[in-house]
């Protein structure tokens, strides 16, 4: 017999890992994760989990079928739950008012109505999805305008995990943020959520706030992180003009304790499902309150990100004698960063498309993201292949492009790779992760971000 039942609606990159960690640490709670996607649920129930995340398998195997369950039966699990985390996707709107900027809340609103329809007792509803500030007010209105005489308490508990380190981030979070109403029922609900996290998180790391600060903090955290990436990438462009070295500049400024070393790695820019959508959403919200300058300020972070990718492609084409038409080019990495198979908004997508628009033929290798490649590049079928290993990807290619910071890319036998490539052979390291001097010695022309090229061609 379980003490309480926790339900999570949405079994994605956030819902799955978060609930697995909660279930692992709270064996007295029954934790159910539901999703409308039957394939995803079947994968969560199998040995082949739907997402790659270091350490995830172990956590799921500890708790699954003990107190962690996956199901497609959303309605009946809503009815029998006490606490509902909502972790559905909230992508950028692609239609109507706010298209391309505002958050698309259709999944979220459907969920709210579904919760209401299937509840006969009051529940705590926790926003886990990233949402525009003041969404909880709308959710409360939908849920509490019922004639069943039941009360829903809506809390905000944004998720700060990063893909690729999700389990570590969940096990040892920098902080847990919970926003609640300052009412009797709000305070009671807050205590219940604190109690869950206190099973493994030190009390001083669990911080509370009002609901609006909590909702806004998530958007702002992502905006600040993305801003650091765009800031350092603007400086990488300046380094390339001045022969300053971006790695040296990053190191020098990162040792200033007021700045700190993280997120100062120059590269082809940020990706992932969150940064772009959350900044655009923040900018849209600011504009809707008449704060045009604030909105423009944050939009620049996204613009610089696109600029960095365009700049990288320009360097590739220019260096390869101004044409890549019908040349085979190997793309190493397609995931938006290392240690994930997630390709959403990956910089590799725009780089690949731009090169194929220039008529290049791509052979793409990624250790974990093969499935996403065909999906993201569906319109370019016939102009690229997905390779099983890096050596066949590079065979006969004129160039290798590194688009993801997978550690394994540094460990290949580049001497053998070089021998199988067309000459002159180029490497464009969009993540500055390879041993450039070694590659240059082998015979490659090496192009880096924010550092002078090591060219054999004068």
Beta-carbon-side half-sphere exposure of residue 189 (alpha carbons within 13 Å): 28
Active site residue 239: no
Pairing of strands 123-127, 384-386: unpaired
Instruction: Note whether 143 binds ligand NAD by CB under 6 A.
Output: no
Instruction: Note whether 40 binds ligand NAD by CB under 6 A.
Output: yes
Q: Judged by CB under 6 A, how many residues of this single chain contact ligand NAD?
A: 27
CB of 372 to ligand NAD, least distance (A): 12
For 260, the token pair is 């700190």
What span, in angstroms and rounded, lies between the C-alpha atoms of 113 and 306? Answer: 37
CB of 74 to ligand NAD, least distance (A): 5
Instruction: Note whether 56 binds ligand NAD by CB under 6 A.
Output: no
Q: Which stretch binds ligand NAD (CB under 6 A): 157-165, 253-261, 307-315, 394-402?
A: 157-165
Instruction: Note whether 156 binds ligand NAD by CB under 6 A.
Output: no
What span, in angstroms and rounded, lies between the C-alpha atoms of 35 and 79? Answer: 15
| CB proximity list for 96: less than 8 A, separation 6 or greater | none
Instruction: Note whether 14 binds ligand NAD by CB under 6 A.
Output: yes
What span, in angstroms and rounded, lies between the C-alpha atoms of 85 and 105? Answer: 16
Q: Give SS3 for 404.
A: coil
What span, in angstroms and rounded, lies between the C-alpha atoms of 393 and 124? Answer: 51
CB of 132 to ligand NAD, least distance (A): 11
The residue (of 81 and 111) whose beta carbon lies closer to ligand NAD is 111
CB of 369 to ligand NAD, least distance (A): 14
CB of 205 to ligand NAD, least distance (A): 17
**Which residue in the shown chain puts its C-beta closest to ligand NAD?**
12
Residue 272: closest CA among 233, 236, 229, 235: 229
The residue (of 337 and 398) whose beta carbon lies closer to ligand NAD is 337
CB of 24 to ligand NAD, least distance (A): 18
What span, in angstroms and rounded, lies between the C-alpha atoms of 77 and 70? Answer: 10
Question: Footprint of ligand NAD on residues 244-273 (CB under 6 A)?
Answer: 273
Query: How far out from the chain centre does Cα 307 lie?
Result: 20
Instruction: Note whether 301 binds ligand NAD by CB under 6 A.
Output: no
Q: Where are the alpha helices (DSSP H) in 163-274?
A: 166-171, 184-197, 211-242, 246-254
Among 15, 98, 179, 186, binds ligand NAD (CB under 6 A): 15
| CB proximity list for 386: less than 8 A, separation 6 or greater | 364, 365, 370, 373, 374
| CB proximity list for 454: less than 8 A, separation 6 or greater | 436, 437, 439, 440, 445, 446, 447, 448
The residue (of 34 and 364) whose beta carbon lies closer to ligand NAD is 34
Instruction: Note whether 12 binds ligand NAD by CB under 6 A.
Output: yes
Task: Give the x/- contact pattern for ligand NAD in 79-118, rule: CB under 6 A.
Answer: --------xxxx----------------x--xx-------
What span, in angstroms and rounded, lies between the C-alpha atoms of 51 and 71? Answer: 17
Instruction: Note whether 159 binds ligand NAD by CB under 6 A.
Output: yes
Instruction: Note whether 281 binds ligand NAD by CB under 6 A.
Output: no
Question: Footprint of ligand NAD on residues 119-138 (CB under 6 A)?
Answer: 129-130
Residues contributing to the site for ligand NAD (CB under 6 A): 9-15, 34-37, 40, 74, 87-90, 107, 110-111, 129-130, 159, 161, 163, 273-274
| Residues noted as catalytic | 274
């Amino acid at each position: 017999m379980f003490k309480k039942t926790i339900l999570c609606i949405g079994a994605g990159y956030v819902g799955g890992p978060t609930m697995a960690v909660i279930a692992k640490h709270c064996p007295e709670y029954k934790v159910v994760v539901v999703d409308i996607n039957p394939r995803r649920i079947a994968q969560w129930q199998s040995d082949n989990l739907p997402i790659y995340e270091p350490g995830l398998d172990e956590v799921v195997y500890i708790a699954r079928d003990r107190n962690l369950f996956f199901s497609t039966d959303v309605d009946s699990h809503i009815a029998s739950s006490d606490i509902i985390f909502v972790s559905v996707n909230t992508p950028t709107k692609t239609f109507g008012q706010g298209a391309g900027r505002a958050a698309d809340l259709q999944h979220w609103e459907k969920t709210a109505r579904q919760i209401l329809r299937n509840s006969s007792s009051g529940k705590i509803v926790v926003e886990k999805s990233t949402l525009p500030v003041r969404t909880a007010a709308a959710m409360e209105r939908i849920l509490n305008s019922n004639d069943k005489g039941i009360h829903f308490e809506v809390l905000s508990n944004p998720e700060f995990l990063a893909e690729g380190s999700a389990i570590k981030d969940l096990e040892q979070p920098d902080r847990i943020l919970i926003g609640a109403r300052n009412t009797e029922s709000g305070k009671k609900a807050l205590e219940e959520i604190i109690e869950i996290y206190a099973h493994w998180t030190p009390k001083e790391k669990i911080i509370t706030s009002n609901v609006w600060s909590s909702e806004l903090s998530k958007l702002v955290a992502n905006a600040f992180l993305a801003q650091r990436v765009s800031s350092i990438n603007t400086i990488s462009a300046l380094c390339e003009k001045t022969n300053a070295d971006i790695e040296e500049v990053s190191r020098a400024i990162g040792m200033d304790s007021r700045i700190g070393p993280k997120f100062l790695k120059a590269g082809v820019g940020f990706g992932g499902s969150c940064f772009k959508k959350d900044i655009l959403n923040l900018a849209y919200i600011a504009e809707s309150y008449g704060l045009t300058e604030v909105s423009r300020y944050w939009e620049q972070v996204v613009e610089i990100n696109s600029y960095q990718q365009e700049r990288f492609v320009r360097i590739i084409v220019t260096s390869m004698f101004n044409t890549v038409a019908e040349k085979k080019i190997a793309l190493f990495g397609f995931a938006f960063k290392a240690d994930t198979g997630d390709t959403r908004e990956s910089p590799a997508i725009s780089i690949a498309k731009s090169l194929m628009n220039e008529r290049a033929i791509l052979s793409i290798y990624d250790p974990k993201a093969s499935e996403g490649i065909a999906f993201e590049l569906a319109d370019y079928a016939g102009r690229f292949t997905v390779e099983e290993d890096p050596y066949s990807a590079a065979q006969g290619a004129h160039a290798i492009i590194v688009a993801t910071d997978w550690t394994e890319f540094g460990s290949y036998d580049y001497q053998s790779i070089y021998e199988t490539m067309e000459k002159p052979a180029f490497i464009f390291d969009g993540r500055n992760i390879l041993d450039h001097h070694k590659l240059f010695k082998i015979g490659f022309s090496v192009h880096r971000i924010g550092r002078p090229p090591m060219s054999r061609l004068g």
